[in-house]
Amino acid sequence: MSRTAFLKLALGLLFAVLAAGMFNLQLLGGAKYRDLSNRNSIRLIPQKGCRGLILDCEGNRIAGSRLSYDVSVLPQGVKDRDGIFSALSRVLGTDAGAIAKKFKNGYTVPSVPVLIARNIELKKAIALEERKSELPGVIVQPSPLRDYPHGRLASHVLGYIGEIDRWRLTRLTDYGYKTKDLVGFGGVEERLDYYLREEEGGLSMEVDHRGRSVRILGLRPPVNGKDVKLTLNLKIQKIVEESLKDKTGCAILMSPLTGEVIAMASVPDYSPAVFTERQNQEIARLVRDLDAPLVNRAISGVYPAGSVFKVIVAAAGLETKKISAHTTFVCTGSTMVGSGRFNCWSTHGRQDLRQAITHSCNVYFYRSGLLAGPEAIHDYALQFGLGHTCGFELPNEAAGSVPSPFWRKVNRFKSWYDGDTANLSIGQGDLLVTPLQITRAMAVFANGGFLVTPYIIKEIDGKDVSASQQKSVRLNLKDSNLESIRQGLKGVVAEAAGTASILSELPVQVAGKTGTAQAPPGAPHGWFTGFFPYKKPKYVICVFLERGGAGYYASQVAKQIIARMAAEGLIN
């Protein structure tokens, strides 16, 4: 037999076998296999893990997860969609048309369930399970939901959870993110989303035509997100937030030695739960609110520094030897700078450096700033961490700005005059800072001349990362100059004529500086920043009241915070 004939015979036999198989499947066994197809199908059920916990420094839960119940409809398991939607509407208390619309918008393929209701009440979930035989294709599935046991507490530090937007999706697709994933926005939730997010698992199940389970075909268990521990102390955080109630502004407590942030509060605040529970009306209100409750004023708000900037001007004057601790100027309530008269808030008479800081004498710092010069003030402000971000972990930290003659020419296309130097010397003009920058700058006087890097993340998945965050730079400042300024800061509180003498009543010795920053056309901003205990500082505090009036009112808030900390044994 020739090779050609052999190949023809082999192909003929192959086609004969295929034809016999087709005949057997379609005609002899067709009814059997149609019945199997009708009676059984494959159901793919996604299973969600829990997002990682966010804990305070003592291991107390700030953000966790709680069990909720979601309702989905499996397209391939539903014949009478209208009937199913009508039955669901009666149990869920939702319009059947709305359910049908959600089903249509969420449909992808017959084997993938379509989510139609999130976070339903437990009694409704039980009612649907009891009617399971009457509702083929309806799946009630437990699902972890982000939970905030302390409500609004530390909301700006935490951030919130929402459905991924297009901008993030285009950047994060390569990291396993996909459409409709829930991701963090703002705060720790955004900064550490990669660690906190869970990995979704799934169950492949064979079910009969009534939706009853026949057998499990495969399982990939979900993986929970990694837990994160912060440097925040919940007890102190609560004290700070309660002291700021009904105000607009922020407050920060930080260790001057390490830079760890012990409390950070911004008001007005918000409830992260409204995003988790998708309360759309409340979300829209938060977005439209002119008081900007979603903005973390501690790191994202930029404001004129006012008189809290005077300590940096003092450092510039001392270090450049344009003034000494014993240099005096006479304050008559105002002084002439060029052809303009620059006022002081009071008449202080003859003042040396310590007295000028204690009484916050504008005239003294006008004269000191003019002697030091705008370039020196600018350079020392940068050394103290102003004009650039602090390197803080949370997103959206602002840099602020420190003006100089060169800066003015490049950014404003204007020349610099002595009046601009005088304004800069008392923290006004184009100077803009964040409260975190001011906290960091004050820490230099508390820790003996080191510029620390603020941080708030202590552990990730049980591994201590704080050591890598504790970065500090020794500033080239003379100890004697630091001590001269510290004496003035102590006088602000300890002396009866000090601008924050209200704090002298506390059981712990505090040093600090007030500031009243003019911001026309509205009321001025109020500042207080300082450290305590004076001899061995453990805390730096900064209180900022937006449109809150004189720095005295910020001092009142600081007093409340420190007094409660002392009463509750939180100052060791």
- DSSP state letters, 446-479: HHTSEEE--B-EEEETTEE-HHHH--EEE----H
Strand order in the sheet with 539-545: 261-267, 249-254, 539-545, 525-532, 511-517
pTM above 0.75, yes or no: yes
Q: Looking at residue 51, what is its pLDDT?
A: 93
Question: What's the number of CA atoms in the CB half-sphere (13 Å) around residue 266?
Answer: 23
Distance of CA 419 to the CA centre of its chain: 39
State the residue for tokens 């492949």.
Answer: 204
Q: Looking at residue 131, what is its pLDDT?
A: 81
Contact 273, 286 (CB under 8 A): no
Contact 446, 483 (CB under 8 A): no
Instruction: Report the alpha-carbon distance of residue 244 to residue 238 in Å, rounded.
Output: 10
Q: Looking at residue 280, what is its pLDDT?
A: 86
- Parallel/antiparallel/unpaired status of strands 228-230 and 54-55: parallel
Q: Looking at residue 82, what is its pLDDT?
A: 81
The residue extents of the domains of the chain are 43-230, 234-284+299-567
Q: Which two tokens stand for residue 22?
A: 């087709």
Contact 296, 187 (CB under 8 A): yes
Contact 140, 71 (CB under 8 A): yes
Give the CATH architecture of domain 43-230. Alpha-Beta Complex (3.90)
Contact 560, 568 (CB under 8 A): no
Whole-angstrom CA distances from 559 to 143, 336, 405, 439 are 45, 37, 39, 17
Q: What is the mean pLDDT of the chain?
A: 90
pLDDT lower than 70: segments of the chain: 1-3, 5-8, 10, 17, 19-46, 111, 203, 205, 207-214, 216
CATH 3.10.100.10 fits 234-284+299-567, yes or no: no
Q: Looking at residue 116, what is its pLDDT?
A: 81
- Parallel/antiparallel/unpaired status of strands 54-55 and 349-351: unpaired
Residue 210: phi and psi, rounded to 5, are: -95, 5
State the residue for tokens 């297009």.
Answer: 166
Q: Which two tokens stand for residue 262?
A: 């012990």
Distance of CA 534 to the CA centre of its chain: 31
Q: What share of the chain is helix, strand, coil (3-state, %, to 5)?
A: 40, 25, 35
199: three-class secondary structure by DSSP: strand
